[in-house]
Amino acid sequence: MAPSPLILWGARLIDGRGAVQDRATVVITGSTITDVGPAQRDRPPGAIDLTGRTMLPGLVDAHVHLSSHMERSPDFGPREVLNGEPPRPRELGYFILAKAARALLDAGITTVRDVGSYDDEALALREANRLGLVGGPRVLSCGRIVSATAPGGRIFGTMYREADGPDEMRKAVREQIRRGADFIKVMATGARSVVDEDPEPAQLTQPELHAVVDEAHRMGLRVAAHAEGLGGTRLAVEEGVDTIEHGLSLHREPRLLDRMAERGIVLVPTLTTFHDLAERFTTDFAPKLVEQAKRQLEDAYRTLTAAARAGVILAMGHDSGPPGDDAVELVRMVEGGLSPQAAITAGTSGAARALGLDDAGAVTPGKRADLLVVDGNPLDSIGILRERSRIWLVIKDGQPSGGRALDARGLQPG
């Protein structure tokens, strides 16, 4: 017997591509959106009444680090081990990952792109999720981050695969494909979170970055480039990577933004991570890095508006914690000058573009049925998307998977 369709009726619809309907009906059959149109005057039999609520695509986060380490998420993981208590088993980490996955889904994040995790944790979570062992968003993983031999390698350990020279770069990419990577992440510059790295110059030579992009693209994988300073950012854009992560220096060379707009290279501005280093965790980082982050924070906002003006596709990337607070990035985008509509586009179809997914990020027929229903109107107040109490229903792959409606058994079709 074919499954009976799920009919969502009467909500305002933000479709993720910039269009809004006042009262819409969305029909889901199996795991696919099969019909979208204006709401009929009378509620169809069996439809769920969403009058007064807003429906939008499930949010997509293009820059997360799935991790059992909770440095950026005080209070989310288990409390610290006290002196005299036995050490915690390593395997506890997988339960923390499962809790993180649940928190993401409950916040309406239905897809995440992991851009680097320790000990292949993101790959383990992806598999657990595919097998239905844990609730959580769909996960795309880069495997390990391809980096030149660099000081960051000593700090980030198993998150990195260090390589030097074009041939070794190819091998490093192939290793990630072997490991099961969905895309390749490469360090085009050093990182702002490492004292001994200067994030300004390109960290790879042109032949090295060329080899990474060529190898990945030939094998059908996209490339995400960590790019802070202008030297590495320029090289990454010119070599044709698919997404620029951070990209804060781009406002200094508008020609690169024009090139990105032309070629559909997506910018993931990760504003929140600069606030983390400059304001939130100032005592956890070396003073030099905190000072650097204050300058970078201003640069990141300048680049946000310059990129929007140039028509560059933007994507939400939280790059912080706790898991589930990802939409703070959309709040920052609005504070930085984007309209709420543009921010929502960045958190849905823009981020889906970053991931290279054409089945996510929009509420249109044929897309995967990943949806979010919230109380109120995020176009009036973007902060609604951060409030757990406002998340009424999360649908993933056509299945009600999170939100208050499930807690309260409020999902009784009429």
The contact set with Zn ion (CB under 5 A) reads 319
Q: Which residue is nearest to Zn ion (CB)?
A: 319
Q: What's the min distance (Å) between Cβ of 115 and Zn ion?
A: 5
Question: From edge to edge, which strands make up the β-sheet containing 222-227?
Answer: 160-162, 145-147, 183-187, 222-227, 243-246, 266-268
Between residues 319 and 326, which has the closer beta carbon with respect to Zn ion?
319
Q: What's the min distance (Å) between Cβ of 317 and Zn ion?
A: 8
Give the C-alpha separation, 307 to 358, whole Å.
23
Between residues 215 and 319, which has the closer beta carbon with respect to Zn ion?
319
On whether the CB atoms of residues 135 and 401 are closer than 8 A, the answer is: yes
Enumerate residues 6+ apart whose C-beta is below 8 A from 10: 23, 24, 25, 39, 43, 47, 49, 50, 51
Q: What's the min distance (Å) between Cβ of 82 and Zn ion?
A: 31
Q: What's the min distance (Å) between Cβ of 157 and Zn ion?
A: 15
Nearest to 147 by CA among 179, 167, 171, 172: 172
Give the C-alpha separation, 349 to 239, whole Å.
24
Three-state DSSP class for residue 164: coil
Please give the structure tokens belonging to residue 278: 């400059």
Q: What is the pairing mode between strands 371-375 and 391-396?
A: antiparallel
Helix 254-263 and helix 287-310, axial crossing angle in degrees, nearest 10? 60
Q: What's the min distance (Å) between Cβ of 276 and Zn ion?
A: 10
Q: What's the min distance (Å) between Cβ of 320 and Zn ion?
A: 9
Give the C-alpha separation, 220 to 176, whole Å.
13
